[in-house]
Amino acid sequence: MQFELKKKDAQSKARAGIITTDHGTIETPIFMPVGTVGTVKGVHQTELKDEINPDVILGNTYHLYLRPKTKILEQAGGLHKFMNWDRNILTDSGGYQVYSLSGRRKIKEEGVKFKSHIDGSYHTFTPENVMEIQRSIGADIIMAFDECTPYPCDYNYAKRSMHMTHRWLKRCITHLEKTPFKYDYSQTFFPIVQGSTYKDLRKQSAEFIASVGAEGNAIGGLSVGEPAEEMYEMTEVVTAILPEDKPRYLMGVGTPINILENIALGIDMFDCVMPTRNARNGMLFTAHGSINIKNKKWEDDFSAIDEMGITYVDTLYSKAYLRHLFAAKELLGKQIASIHNLGFYLWLVREARKHILAGDFTEWKNQMVKQMDKRL
């Protein structure tokens, strides 16, 4: 993988760059739609490619390991072939999913023993087998196996957890060196900074992660319920330490406003279930604020879903029609809203990139943040 910095913003830490992998280029800053189990929920691969047009999407190790299982993925020739997606894929290591199973898991130095949410069977994830699973899935960018701390989190627990994540990282790297690529393209490994909401721990973790010299770095354990201000503070502490010539990925963030603020703090890559999850609940994001399409006020509004027309659904259907689909619990409603929201998120990061390259990002960002902070 290569990363080339194209432009740095003068008034903020925002940057525009290009990541190149064997599956093509990723123009940063980028938002990565989440395709947890090998599908971006409710969206066909054709619509994903032609309408939303992301350079990279996400898959999840925990979910794919449980279903369809690695054997099937290997027989298919990897996740790209299995889901018929010829662009980039990044897989999360499953650390976060195991963290969210709180009552169904036991964390020890060796790894995590957990109970499947599907059939209650027991499994163990270790740094070693998670690297092997990610080799089998075959994503272009693979993540270290980490422990994600809850929020709020006691200082001593956060500290112990961070040190364990660091020890696990060494095991991931040692094992990867012995585990060859499974398919005819290479994979890139990103370690993950932890440390909860404690500045000194974040600093320590960022220094340790930077010292590993990986091709890109991620920041984990944020967007788990902490106030946005704390998230920004932690991002700022970490980006000051992580190498400038490597991409920085903020995991699981966030709202359109969170994304713009973190771009301004020097983040290059984002992922979040919010555009699709909120879409399925009738919440639409637009450049002028958010819309709850289930509200009665849209019942007789025959104007286009979004006059900006970023994706074809925006001008093909009216707000009244989309509201009707949600009221009737029709599947199509969730699909339309998902395409709209993902299209908007990708438009937003691409617009941010244009403004970074043009040199007026900060001004544009401040205006957008004000504009989007409304309920329509």
pLDDT digits (tens, 9 = 90+) for 354-366: 999 999 999 999 9
**How far are the Cα atoms of 64, 276, 287, 362 from residue 39, in angstroms, in the given order?**
11, 11, 26, 35
What value does the mean pLDDT of the chain take?
97
**Averaged pLDDT, 228-248:** 98
**Averaged pLDDT, 189-218:** 98
Which amino acid, 180?
P
For the question of whether the overall pTM of this predicted structure is more than 0.95, the answer is: yes
Q: What is the pLDDT of residue 295?
A: 98
Per-residue pLDDT reduced to its tens digit, 318-348 = 999 999 999 999 999 999 999 999 999 999 9
- pLDDT class for 97, splitting at 50, 70, 90? confident
9 and 362 in contact (C-beta within 8 Å)? Answer: yes
3-state secondary structure of 106: strand
**Averaged pLDDT, 92-105:** 85
Q: What percent of the chain has pLDDT above 90?
A: 96
- pLDDT class for 60, splitting at 50, 70, 90? very high
CA distance 115 to 93: 17
What are the residues whose beta carbons fall under 8 Å from the beta carbon of 266, sequence distance 6 or more? 13, 14, 15, 235, 239, 248
3-state secondary structure of 161: helix
222 and 231 in contact (C-beta within 8 Å)? Answer: yes
- Taken as a whole, the chain contains a residue count of 376
Per-residue pLDDT reduced to its tens digit, 2-56 = 999 999 999 999 999 999 999 999 999 999 999 999 999 999 999 999 999 999 9
**Averaged pLDDT, 139-168:** 96
- pLDDT class for 286, splitting at 50, 70, 90? very high
**How far are the Cα atoms of 42, 51, 291, 318, 324 from residue 336, in angstroms, in the given order?**
9, 12, 14, 11, 12
3-state secondary structure of 19: strand
> In this model, does residue 113 exceed pLDDT 90?
yes
Burial of 190 from C-beta contacts in 10 A (0-12 / 13-18 / 19+): buried
> Measured over all CA atoms, what is the biggest interatomic distance in the chain, rounded to whole angstroms?
62
Sign of the CA dihedral 44, 45, 51, 53?
positive
**Averaged pLDDT, 182-206:** 98
**Averaged pLDDT, 81-99:** 93
Please report how the helices 331-358 and 361-372 are oriented relative to each other, as an axis angle in degrees rounded to 10: 150
3-state secondary structure of 275: helix
Q: What is the pLDDT of residue 162?
A: 97
3-state secondary structure of 320: helix
Q: Where are the domains of the chain?
A: 30-272, 281-376
Q: What is the pLDDT of residue 98?
A: 82
CA distance 169 to 242: 16
Which amino acid, 259?
I
Q: What is the pLDDT of residue 99?
A: 79
- Decide which of 3.20.20.105, 3.40.50.300, 3.30.2010.10, 3.20.20.150 is the CATH code for 30-272: 3.20.20.105
Tokens 């970490």, located at residue: 238
Catalytic residue list: 92, 271
In the sheet that 248-250 helps form, which strands lie side by side, from edge to edge? 30-32, 269-271, 248-250, 217-219, 192-193
CA distance 274 to 34: 9
Tokens 């691409």, located at residue: 350
Q: Which residues pair with 271 in a beta bridge?
A: 32
33 and 272 in contact (C-beta within 8 Å)? Answer: no
CA distance 238 to 251: 13
